[in-house]
Amino acid sequence: MTVATLPSGLLMVHRHCAGATEFCGVTAGVGSRDELTPGRYGLAHFVEHTLFKGTSRRSDSYVLNRMEAVGGELNAYTTKEETSVYSAMPAGNYRRATALIAELVIDSQFPSRRIDREREVICDEIDSYLDSPADGVFDLFDEMVFAGNPLAHNILGTKESVAAIDSDVCRGFMRSHFTADNMVYFYLGPERPDRVFRAAGRAFEGLPAHGAPKSRVAPSLCTPCVDVQDGSAHQSHTVMGALIGGLHAPDRFDTALAINILGGPGMNSLLNVALRERRGLVYTVDASSALYSDCGLMTVYFGCDHEDTALCTRLSSNVLDSLASSRLTPRRLDACKRQFLGQVTLGGDNKEQLALSTARAVLHGLMPPSLAVTSERINAVTPESLRDAAVRLAEAPLRRLTLK
């Protein structure tokens, strides 16, 4: 991996990967948690959708066809802390993609007629999301856990906030946040780093060096709480969880392994065995984590019949307590490590996700994902440090939300 910095301060990261495809783009350190007032909720996501509607020199038709003409794709996504604009394409087209993405970032105009049409699409997306209680319950849980903090509101915003966003607001958002000091350019593919960096240097010459300062505040610790809401669903959807350490937490690998044992994607996870395999109470149960720059959130989710909610909640708590109270044997721990690292290896074959996660890591000042580094950190986990991580999970103030 090669990292360089333009005179403007823009970080650039190159990751060599042989093959017939390549990926490049930018990741900016701005997301829904940077929307500080209800009238701006959904702005980052709105900009992600409407960024492709034309520049002062290019029509939306040009933007739409520029990468597709060579069999490539132009895409974007928004999280609570980042917004990425990138392209996946046959190898040899990185100059075309880099120039296009740079022009979009620097000079998107957000013409009113075009973004009004896209506004309807975003409202349909909001409706679609509300129709899925298994997804919506996580947003409701975030509102509970992060109450009073911008991390609480969902990425899509509301129909009312989306209706209030206009062209000037979108352009101001880009000028404030898509700046050299808040962005990483990334490339993954077979091309040499010097060539890629030269192309990026030319393309991003007009990029503003500095933008608006961040005003993020870490969420405060929450007290235990239980809430039940009416979702008019045929099944109950429950999320329970607690705040944990974030991207920079020293114990994040111990915690990641503990959560994977608890409810990772394997059918042999403790929660899946206890709730589904032994008792047939659920179709889906899992444990996961979302890590942010200054905090993290561990969640357990299950969907079950209404009358089984209390039992599934109790069993889930018991499974977590048992992991915290027991000490895995070295043989059992080694098996859990092999399973975790096998999952990481499978995930590493997804080049698109590898490119995006590399950019995110560099943006946050972390080592990019590497199987060698991850293996070293996971293999350093001991039975004692794993149990300590499980104890911290079990003793954290737990919140629970059920959508019926």
If the chain, 404 residues long, is cut into consecutive pieces of 10 residues, what is the mean pLDDT of each piece? 94 96 98 94 96 95 96 97 98 98 97 92 88 87 93 95 96 96 98 97 94 88 79 85 95 98 96 97 96 96 95 96 94 97 91 96 93 95 96 91 90
Does 177 share its domain with 36?
yes
Asked if residues 336 and 383 have their Cβ atoms less than 8 Å apart, the reply is no
105 vs 255: CA distance, rounded Å: 37
Query: Is residue 214 in some structural domain?
Result: no
Side chain identity at residue 145, one-letter code: V
Residue 213's pLDDT is: 87
Look at residue 232 in the predicted model and tell me its pLDDT: 66
Query: What's the CATH code of the domain at 164?
Result: 3.30.830.10
The kind and range of the H/E element at 96 are: helix 94-107
* Single residue among 172, 203, 234 that ends a domain in this structure: 203
Q: Which tokens is 368 given?
A: 């990019």
Task: Please say whether the beta carbons of 124 and 156 come within 8 A.
Answer: no
pLDDT of residue 228: 84
Does 208 fall in a domain?
no
Domain total of the chain: 2
- Domain assignment present for residue 149? The answer is yes
78 and 141 housed in the same domain:
yes
pTM of the model: 0.93
Q: Is residue 143 part of a domain?
A: yes
pLDDT value of residue 231: 67
Q: How many CB atoms lie within 10 A of CB 157?
A: 26
- The pLDDT of residue 161: 95
Q: Is 299 helix (H, G, I), strand (E, B) or coil?
A: strand
Q: Are residues 259 and 341 in the same domain?
A: yes
Distance between CA atoms of residues 88 and 356, nearest Å: 11
Rg of the chain on CA atoms, in Å = 22
pLDDT of res. 109: 96
Tell whether 162 and 278 lie within a shared domain. Answer: no
**Domain closes at, from 144, 172, 203:** 203
Has residue 210 been placed in a domain?
Answer: no
For residue 315, the SS3 value is helix
Q: Are residues 230 and 355 in the same domain?
A: yes
Are 114 and 14 in a shared domain? yes
Same domain for 189 and 111, yes or no, is yes
Distance CA 276, CA 219 (A): 34
- Do 342 and 246 fall into the same domain? yes
Distance CA 173, CA 41 (A): 12
Residue type, 250: P
Same domain, 193 and 291: no
Q: Are residues 31 and 125 in the same domain?
A: yes
Domain span holding position 237: 225-403
| 9 and 141 fall within a common domain | yes
* SS3 call for 289: strand
Together in a domain, 20 and 106: yes
Retrieve residue 5's tokens.
């910095």
Residues in contact with 40: Cβ distance below 8 Å, sequence separation at least 6, in sequence order: 161, 165, 169
Element (H, E) at 360: helix 351-363
